[in-house]
């Protein structure tokens, strides 16, 4: 297993190199001139030239790239011109917020979509099957910013059940001491129930928004995959040897049906990372999505590069985990490497 | 003897898109205690559906419309599901076709046996493991403690079937239903598995229902045989009588179509269609070698993991490559048909792929009509004029046809690539269809609108389209019912006589090979064990392995036709 892990990590290296190159080039071809933006609207051409020189933007591209890579190897992603902070510090502060939100949404979605998909497959053509289809279609056809606003309107404005959609904690609570950066976990570790309740309340609406969006693919794949497995020979053997329906469905069918679901999970996670940008805007969530968008609008290269790189690493890490979990589920894969 | 299972007036309906289909109509079957009953029929005869109805494991769309199923005094046709769950696996159990698929691929086989034992309270958590290992031992699995931890993919097909039998017999049921338990297994494995089933069930005084398409197998192992056709029972008789004195015309047809020793190819066909033996057209320089294979070797590198682990490992640590074909030599003469026989993994398919020039040999020569075609890379052979002279008929008539091509388009495929442009394509296709006995009105149908036999004819017509000199037939009838097989085999013999081709007939069925081949090559482990004239190899085999193969093939009780 360790050898496999090591091998897999090695194979991610080319992908990472690609990401570094692409993120660098991408920010260079984007329209907008950083120097002009920071020199201000009234700046003279000389002033812009000066800023350019200061930022190193007057050098040829290979030279700029070399510098970028050298800095990167020291863990330096550059300076954000809008916040004035090192990009690494900004990401460190904001990434956990985004990760917490995305994971919360994903887990919530899994808890609803997987049982729904299983039920829909077991009782094919029944009410629950049609309900599953309706919910999934509705969820995926509503854009996240719309769902988000609708939820805020209903739960905050009309019914006043949830707190104001402003950030990760309500104004009176204080953040728990940082261990993982996830407020839910940190507050539990610190036994700070007030902070836990508050962060959960803040997380609920954006989390549900993301969950509604991601229900569809997970429920659909679970249903399709379960249907395929339920018609397989070994399920018939299990039934013919008198195993009860529950055991047949869960132990025999579902474990086999999990592989495609997990594959979809990786894709859904990347959709959610994209959807995050909008949700963070709607809920004033201090995550990396909104940070990156602001930087992009300001033609601020360094944070955009940092964001793309961080997301790529996250995605590669996730895929690595998915790959490894395949092996845990399916013994056939283990013997091939 | 009292009846253990009594099925009377059973009718099973399936709700399909085209309305209700009665898959089984008014079936009466009785199984006495300790009796072995064979249910024989071709595909679509309703034999499996009957057994699923008894177990009450029909698909969602199927239901028992009429009739009664009485099992040791219990009425099963409308027993509650909870009672059925209790009975299945404990009182009545089932083993299936395709044993590897019948086991959960990601659960250890021991655990799967434990699941059944625990479900029926035959074992608690303390002794479940012990009892599961014991169940494996009962089916003669060597080193059962080790096998307990194995996954199905780590076991051979025969071993998997033993595990399925262990699973079915773990709770000592009174009735065992075996649904095509040996289809897809090699003959020697088939014999071992059938002997085991019969021995274990006799020992325990169990009743057995053997469902099979193979009349010979049923007659060999069963006390009584029930023949089903299109959802109805047409005949029920003691096994010895079914071969010697079949009463129903359908049974007679089945008996005749079953390949067996001592008959000629024409004997497979029903009486009412007498045909003269194939008249050989004079073949130019008949007997001259057409294809000569010498020292043919195919090696496959062993799995070495991904690029990185291969780079990390020193070169000398890599294992020797696997030799799928290990230095074989033989020849096929003009107008001759040569049988290539062996069990799975013996290298017969690899050999035929190399002769077809779809695979490059590692070593050796393939000389076809004086030219070493083995030297032409497989990738380029498709463009070589020699391509049209060697054609193939594939094993699965369904999978080897493009589902989006009509029959006519499929037959025309090689013509479009190779024939000269002046040709009238449609008339040539119609000519070929007539040659293989495919009704012309079927030419515009798609594969899913054709029967198995019709699809086989399309495949054969396609192979004949370019008038090849050599046709490689890769188990061309393995997926067909016996009555269809009889017709197709005769068709192939007629075509060969008419067109003067040579055949290389790859098969695992010795009875079939005896009927169609002039010479036989027996392979095992990539090597040729024996070769000679069909008569000599099959009647007086020299190699032990050939003798073993012949002994393992089921011997229907009555010889001749």
d(CA A248, CA A161): 42
What is the residue whose two structure tokens read 């032409």?
B376
Q: Do B119 and A234 touch (CB under 8 A)?
A: no
For the cut 60, the answer to whether the pLDDT of residue A335 exceeds it is no
Classify domain B1-91+174-258 at the CATH superfamily level.
P-loop containing nucleotide triphosphate hydrolases (3.40.50.300)
Calculate mean pLDDT across residues A56-63.
83
Helix (H, G, I), strand (E, B) or coil at B23: strand
Using an 8 Å Cβ cutoff, are B400 and B408 in contact?
A: no
Using an 8 Å Cβ cutoff, are A102 and A276 in contact?
A: yes
- Facing B93 at nearest CB: one of A3, A236, A240: A240
Q: What is the dihedral of CA B428, B434, B436, B441, to 10 degrees?
A: 100
Can you give the pLDDT at residue B559? 45
Closest chain A residue to B120, measured at CA: A242
| Confidence category of residue A334, pLDDT binned at 50, 70, 90 | low
Chain B residues touching A332 at Cβ < 8 A: 105-106, 151, 153
Q: How many other β-carbons are positioned within 10 Å of the β-carbon of residue B175?
A: 22
Can you give the pLDDT at residue B3? 87
Can you give the pLDDT at residue B393? 93
Parse chain A into domains and list their residue ranges. 97-283
- Facing B102 at nearest CB: one of A237, A242, A335: A237
Chain A residues touching B101 at Cβ < 8 A: 232-234
Closest chain A residue to B106, measured at CA: A330
Can you give the pLDDT at residue A267? 86
d(CA A266, CA A326): 12
Can you give the pLDDT at residue A337? 45
The class of domain A97-283 in CATH terms is: mainly alpha
Can you give the pLDDT at residue B315? 53
Can you give the pLDDT at residue B310? 55
Q: How many other β-carbons are positioned within 10 Å of the β-carbon of residue B138?
A: 18
Can you give the pLDDT at residue B344? 83
Best interface-test mutation with A: which of B92, B96, B104, B306 has the largest number of A CBs within 10 A? B104
Chain B residues touching A247 at Cβ < 8 A: 115, 119
Classify domain B289-552 at the CATH superfamily level.
P-loop containing nucleotide triphosphate hydrolases (3.40.50.300)
d(CA A181, CA A192): 15
Q: Do A11 and B151 touch (CB under 8 A)?
A: no
Q: Do A239 and B57 touch (CB under 8 A)?
A: yes
Domains B1-91+174-258 and B289-552 share a fold: yes
Give the ipTM. Answer: 0.81
Q: Do A236 and B106 touch (CB under 8 A)?
A: no
d(CA B63, CA A198): 56
CB pairs under 8 A between A and B: 96
- Between B479 and A213, where is the model more confident? A213
Calculate mean pLDDT across residues A92-115.
92
Parse chain B into domains and list their residue ranges. 1-91+174-258, 99-172, 289-552
For the cut 60, the answer to whether the pLDDT of residue A80 exceeds it is yes
Can you give the pLDDT at residue B95? 92
Which residues, listed in sequence order, are joined to residue B69 by a DSSP beta bridge? B7
Q: Do B87 and A329 touch (CB under 8 A)?
A: no
Using an 8 Å Cβ cutoff, are B3 and B31 in contact?
A: yes
Can you give the pLDDT at residue B561? 39
- Digit-by-digit pLDDT tens for chain B (561 residues) are 578 999 999 999 998 888 888 999 999 999 999 999 999 998 889 999 999 999 999 888 889 999 999 999 899 998 999 999 999 999 999 998 888 899 999 999 999 999 999 999 888 888 999 999 999 999 988 899 999 999 999 888 888 999 999 999 999 999 999 999 988 788 888 899 999 999 999 999 999 999 998 888 898 899 999 999 999 999 999 988 888 889 999 999 888 888 887 788 888 888 665 566 666 666 666 678 899 999 999 998 876 555 555 555 555 555 678 889 999 999 999 989 999 998 888 888 899 999 999 999 999 999 999 899 989 999 899 888 889 999 999 888 888 999 999 999 999 999 988 877 667 889 999 999 999 999 999 999 999 899 888 999 999 999 999 999 999 999 888 888 888 899 999 999 999 988 889 999 998 888 889 899 999 999 998 999 999 999 899 889 999 999 999 888 887 665 443
Query: In Å, how far is A105's CA from the nearest CA of chain B?
Result: 30
Tally of residues, chain B: 561
Can you give the pLDDT at residue B560? 42
Chain B residues touching A336 at Cβ < 8 A: 303, 305
Interface of A with B (CB under 8 A): 3, 7, 10-11, 124, 232-234, 236-245, 247, 251-252, 255-256, 329-332, 335-337
Q: Do B105 and A234 touch (CB under 8 A)?
A: yes
Calculate mean pLDDT across residues A171-199.
85
Best interface-test mutation with B: which of A120, A129, A237, A256 has the largest number of B CBs within 10 A? A237
Query: In Å, how far is A335's CA from the nearest CA of chain B?
Result: 9
């Amino acid at each position: 297993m360790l050898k496999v892990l090591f091998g897999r990590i090695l194979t991610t290296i080319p992908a990472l190199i690609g990401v570094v190159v692409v993120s660098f080039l991408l920010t260079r071809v984007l329209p907008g001139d950083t120097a002009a933006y920071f020199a201000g609207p009234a700046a003279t051409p000389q002033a812009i030239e000066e800023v350019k020189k200061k930022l190193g933007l007057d050098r040829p591209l290979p030279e700029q790239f070399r510098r970028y890579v050298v800095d990167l190897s020291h863990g330096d992603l550059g300076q954000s011109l809008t916040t004035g902070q090192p990009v690494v510090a900004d990401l460190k502060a904001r990434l956990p917020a985004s990760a917490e939100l995305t994971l919360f949404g994903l887990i919530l979605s899994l808890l609803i979509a997987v049982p729904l998909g299983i039920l829909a497959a077991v009782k094919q053509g029944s009410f629950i099957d049609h309900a599953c289809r309706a919910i999934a279609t509705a969820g995926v056809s509503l854009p996240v910013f719309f769902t988000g606003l609708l939820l805020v309107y209903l739960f905050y404005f009309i019914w006043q059940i949830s707190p104001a959609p402003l950030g990760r904690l309500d104004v009176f609570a204080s953040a728990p001491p940082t261990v993982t950066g996830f407020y839910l976990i940190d507050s539990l570790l610190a036994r700070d129930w007030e902070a836990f309740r508050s962060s959960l309340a803040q997380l609920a609406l954006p989390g549900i928004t993301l969950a509604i969006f991601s229900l569809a693919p997970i429920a659909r794949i679970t249903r399709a995959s379960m249907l395929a497995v339920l018609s397989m020979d070994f399920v018939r053997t299990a039934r013919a040897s008198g195993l009860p329906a529950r055991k047949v469905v869960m132990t025999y069918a579902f474990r086999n049906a999990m592989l495609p679901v997990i594959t979809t999970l990786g894709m859904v996670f990347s959709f959610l990372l994209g959807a995050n940008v909008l949700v963070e805007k709607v809920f004033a969530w201090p995550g990396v999505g909104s940070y990156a968008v602001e930087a992009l609008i300001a033609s601020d290269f360094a944070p955009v590069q940092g964001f793309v790189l961080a997301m790529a690493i996250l995605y590669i890490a996730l895929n690595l985990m998915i790959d490894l979990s395949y092996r845990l589920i399916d013994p056939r894969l283990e013997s091939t490497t | 003897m009292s009846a253990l299972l009594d099925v009377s007036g059973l009718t099973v309906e399936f709700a399909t898109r085209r309305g209700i289909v009665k898959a089984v109509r008014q079936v009466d079957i009785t199984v006495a205690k300790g009796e072995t009953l064979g249910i024989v029929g071709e595909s679509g005869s309703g034999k499996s559906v009957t057994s699923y109805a008894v177990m009450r494991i029909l698909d969602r769309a199927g239901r028992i419309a009429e009739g009664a199923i009485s099992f040791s005094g219990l009425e099963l046709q409308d027993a509650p599901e909870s009672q059925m769950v209790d009975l299945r696996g404990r009182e009545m159990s089932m083993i299936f076709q395709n044993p590897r698929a019948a086991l959960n691929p990601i659960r250890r086989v021991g655990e799967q046996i434990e699941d059944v034992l625990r479900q029926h309270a035959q074992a608690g958590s303390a002794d479940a493991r012990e009892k599961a290992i014991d169940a494996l031992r009962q089916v003669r699995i060597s080193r059962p403690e080790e096998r307990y931890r194995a996954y199905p993919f780590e076991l051979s097909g025969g071993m998997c079937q033993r595990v399925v039998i262990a699973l079915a017999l773990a709770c000592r049921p009174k009735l065992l239903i075996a649904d095509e338990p040996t289809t897809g297994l090699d003959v020697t494995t088939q014999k071992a598995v059938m002997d085991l089933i019969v021995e274990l069930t006799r020992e325990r005084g169990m009743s057995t229902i053997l469902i099979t398409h193979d009349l010979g197998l049923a007659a060999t192992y069963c006390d009584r045989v029930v023949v089903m056709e299109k959802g109805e029972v047409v005949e029920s008789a003691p096994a010895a009588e079914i071969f010697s004195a079949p009463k129903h015309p359908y049974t007679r047809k089945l008996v005749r179509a079953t390949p067996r020793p001592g008959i000629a190819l024409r004997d497979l066909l029903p009486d009412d269609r007498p045909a003269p033996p194939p008249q050989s057209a004079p073949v130019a320089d008949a007997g001259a070698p057409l294809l000569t294979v010498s020292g043919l070797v195919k090696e496959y590198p062993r799995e070495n993991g991904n690029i990185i682990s291969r780079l990390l490992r020193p070169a000398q640590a890599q294992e020797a490559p696997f030799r799928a074909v290990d230095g074989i030599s033989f020849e096929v003469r003009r107008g001759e048909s040569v049988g290539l026989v062996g069990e799975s993994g013996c290298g017969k398919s690899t050999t035929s792929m190399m002769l077809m020039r779809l695979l490059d040999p590692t070593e050796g020569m393939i000389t076809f009509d004086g030219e070493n075609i083995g030297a032409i890379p497989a990738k380029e052979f498709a463009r070589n004029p020699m391509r049209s002279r060697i054609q193939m008929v594939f094993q699965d008539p369904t999978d080897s046809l493009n589902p989006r091509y009509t029959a006519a388009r499929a037959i025309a495929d090689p013509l479009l690539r190779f024939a000269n442009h002046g040709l009238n394509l449609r008339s040539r296709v119609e000519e070929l269809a007539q040659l293989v006995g495919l009704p012309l009105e079927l030419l515009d149908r798609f594969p899913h609108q054709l029967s198995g036999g019709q699809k086989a004819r399309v495949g054969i017509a396609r192979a004949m389209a370019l008038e090849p000199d050599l046709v490689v037939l890769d188990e061309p009838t393995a997926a067909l019912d016996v009555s269809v097989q009889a017709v197709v085999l005769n068709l192939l013999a007629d075509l060969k006589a008419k067109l003067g081709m040579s055949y290389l007939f790859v098969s695992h069925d010795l009875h079939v090979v005896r009927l169609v081949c002039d010479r036989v090559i027996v392979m095992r482990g990539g090597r040729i064990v024996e070769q000679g004239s069909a008569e000599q190899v099959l009647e007086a085999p020299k190699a032990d392995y050939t003798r073993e193969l012949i002994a393992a093939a089921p011997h229907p009780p009555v010889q001749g036709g």
